[in-house]
Structure 1
Amino acid sequence: MDSVTPPSAAAVHPVIVPLSYLLGTWRGQGEGGYPTINSFSYGEELHFSSNPGKPVIAYNQKTWKLNSGEPMHAESGYWRPKPDGTIEVVIAQSTGIVEVQKGTYNTQDKTIKLQSQLVGNASKVKEITRDFELVNGDLSYVVQMATNLTGIQPHLKALLKKL
């Protein structure tokens, strides 16, 4: 392969194959809230990509206000699935928070469940969970969060369509 020709989309590392349905761009809307903030709606785009020969999925996310298109939140990181159905995820948020998460994926149900092992540089956030599920071809997720003021509570949920 020369430096100009992109690798084939079908050429993914074998460990990525069970999660290859994620690869590509997803867009939709979500809702957020928390006991300490007002509820809100947002637009969102997720992008998952991989490099052939590398057992990792690159992840990028951005959100915006629905009425104005003004940027809200962004994050990026890497997902490292293992052949045994476990997964390790690192995410850096635009707010300065860094998450190290571990979890599991179920190939048959097309679900991913993540639990924070470390939430760094967060004065208030103590724990984050993320659950993803493919539902009728759409990607659904729920994020829960615990702070120094509350236990684990629903924070975000969205439904995204693949572009």
Structure 2
Amino acid sequence: MDEDKERFSAIHPAVAPLSYLLGKWKGEGEGGYPTINSFRYGEELHFSHPAPGKPVIAYSHKTWKLDSGMPMHSESGYWRPKPDGSIEVVIAQSTGLAEVLKGTHSAEDKLIKLQSQVVANASKVREISRVYEMVNGELHYVVQMATNLAALQPHLKAVLKKLP
């Protein structure tokens, strides 16, 4: 019985290089874009490894207004790291937009770079890129976006600390 428990609690070898992400992260971010007013927000990310026998990380993300705590945005999906340093990500947003991204991950640099392959159900968004990086124990990310009205440029950035 203990042998089965250990086998199912182990981290899949493809997930191991990104195991530093596993858990909950919380912090603040800021956003803006030429077509919207700048804003600040609170945020929580959750990365889990729900199926240790599978090379997948479950991802959920929620944001709220700092002054009122009112929910703003949420998204969830799956990250599929590959042993060759590539990664595939699918994300569904609360706005109805869906993303399929591909990119690279480096365990040594603790750096993940993602570029949209498909942005579906979006009337204006054409392209999305995401970069996640560990800096001094904090998770930093930048999301860039291109729309029908503007080229790829910064949209969101945040700094998050891992919760105990």
Does TM, normalized by the shorter one, top 0.5? yes
Compute the displacement of 1:9 (Å).
9.4
Instruction: Check the 8 A contact 1:58/1:79 in 2, yes or no.
Output: yes
Q: CA separation in 2, counterparts of 1:9 and 1:112?
A: 26
Which one-letter code corresponds to 2:149 in the other structure? Answer: L
Q: CA RMSD in A?
A: 1.8
Contact kept in structure 1, 2:8 and 2:53, CA below 8 Å: no
Identical pairs, percent = 74
Cα pair 1:140 1:160 within 8 Å, conserved: yes
Q: Calculate the TM-score normalised by the size of structure 1.
A: 0.95
Looking at structure 2, the residues matched to 62 and 159 of structure 1 have their Cα atoms a distance apart, in angstroms, of: 14
Task: Kindly report which structure 2 residues correspond to 1:32-71, keeping only aligned pairs within 5 A, or say none.
Answer: 32-50=31-49, 51-71=51-71
TM superposition shift of 1:52: 1.3
Instruction: Give secondary structure in 2 for the equivalent of 1:18.
Output: helix
The offset of 1:79, in angstroms, is: 0.1
Please state how far the C-alpha of 1:153 moved relative to its aligned partner: 1.1
- Kindly provide the CA deviation profile for residues 36-67 of structure 1, in whole angstroms up to 9, marking residues without a partner as x: 00000000000000021111000000000000
Question: Greater CA deviation, 48-57 or 22-31?
Answer: 48-57
2:89 maps to which residue? 89
Aligned to 2:28: 29
Using the size of structure 2 for normalisation, the TM-score is 0.94
> Which of structure 1's runs of 4+ aligned residues deviate more than 2 A?
6-10
Secondary structure, aligned partner of 2:17: helix
Change (3 A) 1:8 1:38: farther
Asked if 1:109 corresponds to 2:109, the answer is yes
- State the AA in 2 paired with 1:97: L
1:8 to 1:160, Cα distance in 2 relative to 1, 3 A: farther
Q: Deviations over 1:87-146 (max 9, x none)?
A: 000000000000000000011110000000000000000000000000000000000000
User: 1:159 maps to what in 2?
Assistant: 159
Query: Which consecutive unaligned segments of at least 5 residues does structure 1 have?
Result: none
Q: Secondary structure at the match of 1:54?
A: coil
Q: Distance in 2 between matches of 1:15 and 1:154?
A: 30
- Normalized per residue, the structure richer in helix is 2
Contact 1:7/1:52 (<8 A) preserved? no
